[in-house]
Amino acid sequence: MNLADLPLGPLERALVDSLRRLDPAAEPLVLASAALLCAALDNGDVCLPLARRAGQRPWPEHGFCLPLLAEWQARLAASSLVGGDGDGDFTPLILVGERLYLARYQAYERNLAEQLLSRAADLPSVDEAQLSESLTRLFAFNAQQPDWQRLAAAQAVRRRLAVISGGPGTGKTTTVVRLLAALLEQPGGAQLAIGLAAPTGKAAARMAEAIRNAKASLPVSAAIKAALPEQARTLHRLLGSRGDSPQVRHNAANPLALDVLVVDEASMVDLALMAKLVDALPANARLILLGDKDQLCAVEAGAVFAELCEGRGFDARAAADLQRITGQQVPVAQPGSRLGDAVVLLSHSHRFAGDSGIGELARRINGGDVSGTLNLLKEQRSDLAWNAQPTPADLLERLDCGYAPFLSAAKSADPHAAFAAFNDFRALCAQREGAWGVAGINEALEARVKRRGQVASRERWYVGRPIMVRQNDYALGLFNGDIGICLDSEFGLRVFFEAEDGYRPFAPARLPSHDSAFAMTVHKSQGSEFSEVLLVLPEQPSPLLSRSLCYTGITRARHKVEIWGLPTRLGEAVATRAERAAGLAERLAVDPVTQSRSAAPPASGAGHAQLPLF
């Protein structure tokens, strides 16, 4: 096999060249495997799953065929470039069973699993009588049995690790602000240093705002309310990211000065970032992760939050403890993960009523029920609509009508009215490019708006132009994903952004990199809510289409969802479960032989060393 003939990208070729310098006699199969691993990382996988690829032709236009699994494993293991999971010597590639890793990602995954298990096994001292009284008072408004919000709060106080998953409207923010109040009411709780963080600036701002609003009605003392945090930071800023370097300022040698860290939108956190976060958190600090296991995963490699939620359950002892403290009947289910009872799923939606079309659609999509999804959309529910034969011209006309109230409100030069109208309706796309993507829709709709407003086509700025920031600018306090609207002001055109105490105007020339935002990708919409959502699916098959994408898109809506997509594309999306190759869940799994719930192995110290470059 001649590697020069393979259709490799620049990054794959750079990796292959690096490996050749380490071992000039490296077998071509090993180098080709490394190239495939590099491509897998680019697609969000943490490793190359050998069993899925064995015996196949990875490049259809090339005759090269991968060997069968056993032979492939043996030839990789024989290479000086490939090491094992517990080997002491550095090798750029690591083979763990049927998974091939770059050394850095294998270290991220191994260290993260060890530290999570260690944290989950280290139980803090808790005043159970005080906790019971706090939970009874703080969650008195809930009549559900069992009250999963109360159980989640109990576990977050009783454990140093809590993973709380729930769909839109299931009360994650309500739960976290009340569990923090219960934690502060514990003996010595008033001295706790509590931090709030999220993957993006927009998510951090929304989290802080939600907690500020929620704590006003808490049945606690003024001192407890004052102790609740009101500011949130991005994870990158919290850790002290250093430009494009993988290193961060805070790590095990320089830990964060926190006793409790709450991370919202944790499903968006990739493996590398989560590993660095846990490494930087003091061993005796509590970590509370909030997210939705069914939402889209991180853009970078890994699906950490979804893997943490696998194997959840309360064994008989945990269920009895929780029943004693909370008064709730707790279902017993043998955990499949050694994190087990650290994971709680909030299942009752306060946003979608039992007869909600959106809620039912979300359930059918998550269940992979293609026929049920299509049939539901044909029922003409008041909160659901479906255009099964869309055309670009019809879509443009529909979006023009959908955004007409917003553009009218923008002419008032009132930021509050403009933002309220803009959040009433939003177009979400599966992809960026093409007539059915963000770029094509924004360009076409913007041209129409300019013509109607008699704005020259070369002019970038006009009243009513919505934009989305593409990069963080800490000096301006603007972050990737923030939405701004161009409005008239006494100083001319200014772009307004929502702030804690109103709206902040910026001269267009001062803004960091940005795009027009009549339409946005589903991925960028995570953490947002709109009154109505129009979800646009591509006309041609796309690897981006999955049930998690559809679920995330439709659950951004509070009152109505409109889907524009061919039945074939919609069916493909619902039938496709986006699975990322990784081994974290397997590392956390209960031993199938012993079914033991043993603590983590002792920390090896590897998580405290500088990770290798590969």
- Taking only the tens place, the pLDDT of each residue in 51-91 is 988 888 888 778 788 889 999 999 999 999 999 887 677 89
Q: What is the mean pLDDT of residues 183-208?
A: 86
Instruction: Please report, as a single letter, which amino acid is at residue 457.
Output: S
The 10 Å CB-count burial string (b at 16+, else e) for 532-570 is bbbbbbbbeebebbbbbbbbbbbbbbbebbbbbbbeebb
Instruction: Please report, as a single letter, which amino acid is at residue 399.
Output: L
Q: Rounded to a whole number, what is the distance in angstroms from the first to the last CA of the chain?
A: 25
Q: How confident is the model at residue 352 (pLDDT cuts 50, 70, 90)?
A: low
Local structure of 337: helix, strand or coil:
strand
- DSSP H or E segment with residue 484: strand 483-489
Spatial distance between the Cα atoms of 484 and 496, rounded to a whole number of angstroms: 5
Beta sheet of 161-166, edge-to-edge order: 232-234, 194-198, 260-263, 286-291, 161-166, 343-346
Q: What's the Rg (C-alpha) of the chain? A: 25
Residue 457 has, within 13 A of its CA and on its CB side, a CA count of 6
pLDDT surpassing 50 at residue 594: no
pLDDT surpassing 80 at residue 612: no
pLDDT surpassing 60 at residue 604: no
DSSP 36: H
Spatial distance between the Cα atoms of 68 and 518, rounded to a whole number of angstroms: 49
pLDDT surpassing 70 at residue 297: yes
- Between helix 316-326 and helix 148-158 the angle, nearest 10°, is 100
Q: What is the reported pTM?
A: 0.83
Q: How confident is the model at residue 603 (pLDDT cuts 50, 70, 90)?
A: very low
pLDDT surpassing 60 at residue 182: yes
- Between helix 547-554 and helix 567-575 the angle, nearest 10°, is 110
Alpha helices in 122-268 (DSSP H): 128-138, 148-158, 172-184, 201-215, 222-227, 235-239
pLDDT digits (tens, 9 = 90+) for 187-199: 888 889 999 998 8
pLDDT surpassing 80 at residue 469: yes
pLDDT surpassing 70 at residue 439: yes
Q: What is the mean pLDDT of residues 245-266?
A: 86
Spatial distance between the Cα atoms of 225 and 447, rounded to a whole number of angstroms: 50
Q: What is the mean pLDDT of residues 472-492?
A: 84
